[in-house]
Amino acid sequence: MLYAQITGWGRCLPPARLTNRDIMEVMDTSEEWILERTGIETRRISHVMSADLAHVASERALACAGVQADKIDMIAFATTTADEIVPNTASLLQGKLGATGAACFDLNAACTGFIYAFQMVSDMIRTGTIKSALVVGSERLSSLMNWKRRESAILFGDGAAALVLQASTQESGFFQGKMGCIENTRELLAIPDYGLHAIAQHRPLDITIDFHGREIFKNAVNEMANACTEVLERSGLDLKDVDLIVPHQANARIVEALAKKLNADPEKIVITLDRYANTSTSSIPIALCEAIEQGRVRPGATILMTAFGAGLTWGALLLKWGERIAPLGESSIELPATDKTGLELIKEAIRLRENVWHDNK
Ligand code: UT7
């Protein structure tokens, strides 16, 4: 029997911070509102592209696994902020890493992307199609935000994380999952011009998020709770058997409502959204990496992950950690330095929108 063991992990958070107080300089909001309604205190803003964040996270994950990049069979790059659509950003990452033997694809299931990618790649390893893979989540959502839309712009941050998966005969890795998408909810979270619409209709681009927070909130709690319950039932486990819960980091109130619905012990839940906000598809692997670094992942631990995102996509999965919790090696790679603050980077992004994009909403 083959398993898809997690043998390496690494994350990359850009250094520039944007606090709630900073955001008050560019929009009509308050520190109190953001903290009370979301639990977010600060977030990171990237001065580099998604592939650059992914590169650093991946080098760290490969060093942790003690695996050379050219031994990787597949790169699954989950993102909603691809540097390029054609060719895909996974192949850009391939070149940066020297992963010459890897098949490369991008996957967009919004904030649920990592859950989808992890499950698909794990199944390919378990069936023997491939022997190893890099599963990456990377996002630079700050450059996509319309900073005139206070209900959405305050929620997101930038960052990346990567896991190395390798075939193993030791029982570990992904063992139960469920993925889905609620039909007819596409308009609840959408960026209509972030595709061919405007070009096909000969209109200027208007990249703006249409966002119905309350509706997304309700759907998110229900679907994540249902998905978690189903994967637990299918694996014959109870929530008491789960050692750690790593939910998508969208909003502290969503996580609390989910915990209440599942009757989960808050001590088992990993939270990073206070410091990194919602990093979309990267949020779960970033939180997992942090939990490992903090010693919260024990050998053989059972871990439950769950997410939701635009679509509305949703998913949950259960995995069993292997024996090793210490990295085999470390990479010295770092992002190029910047002395810009998060606020300076956001002001640059706002100027760019005004100069380049049609921006009258
Ligand atoms: O990962 C996938 C993406 N994430 C999500 O989809 C997140 C899901 N939704 C949420 O997290 C929450 O719904 C939000 C944090 C977005 C909003 O919280 P809420 O408690 O649902 O607030 P609301 O949208 O019902 O708005 C309440 C009030 C409104 O004012 P009125 O109409 O009551 O006067 C908003 O205009 O809060 C106002 N408001 C703000 N006020 C200050 C909305 N955004 C802000 C803001 N600062 N940034």
Residue range 125-142, pLDDT digits in tens: 999 999 999 999 999 999
What's the average model confidence in pLDDT over 79-102?
Answer: 98
**Cβ atoms of 315 and 306 closer than 8 Å:** yes
pLDDT given for residue 361 in this prediction: 52
Residue 248 among the catalytic residues: yes
Residue 146 among the catalytic residues: no
For residue 35, report the distance from its CA to the centre of ligand 1, in Å: 11
For residue 38, report the distance from its CA to the centre of ligand 1, in Å: 8
Residue 187 has pLDDT above 80, yes or no: yes
Which residue's CA is the closest to the ligand 1 atom numbered 25? 214
What is the number of the ligand 1 atom nearest to the C-alpha of 283?
1
Q: What is the mean pLDDT of the chain?
A: 96
What's the average model confidence in pLDDT over 262-278?
Answer: 97
Q: Which residue has the higher pLDDT, 353 or 170?
A: 170
Q: Is the CB of 150 under 6 A from ligand 1?
A: yes
Which of 18, 24, 145, 151 best tests ligand 1's pocket when mutated (most atoms within 8 Å of CB)?
151
Tokens of 274: 């206070």
Residue of 108, 146, 251, 278 marked catalytic: 278
What's the average model confidence in pLDDT over 2-14?
Answer: 98
Residue 206 has pLDDT above 90, yes or no: no
pLDDT given for residue 203 in this prediction: 87
Distance from C-alpha of 248 to C-alpha of 327, rounded to nearest angstrom: 24
pLDDT given for residue 353 in this prediction: 83
Residue 222 among the catalytic residues: no
Which residue's CA is the closest to the ligand 1 atom numbered 41? 29
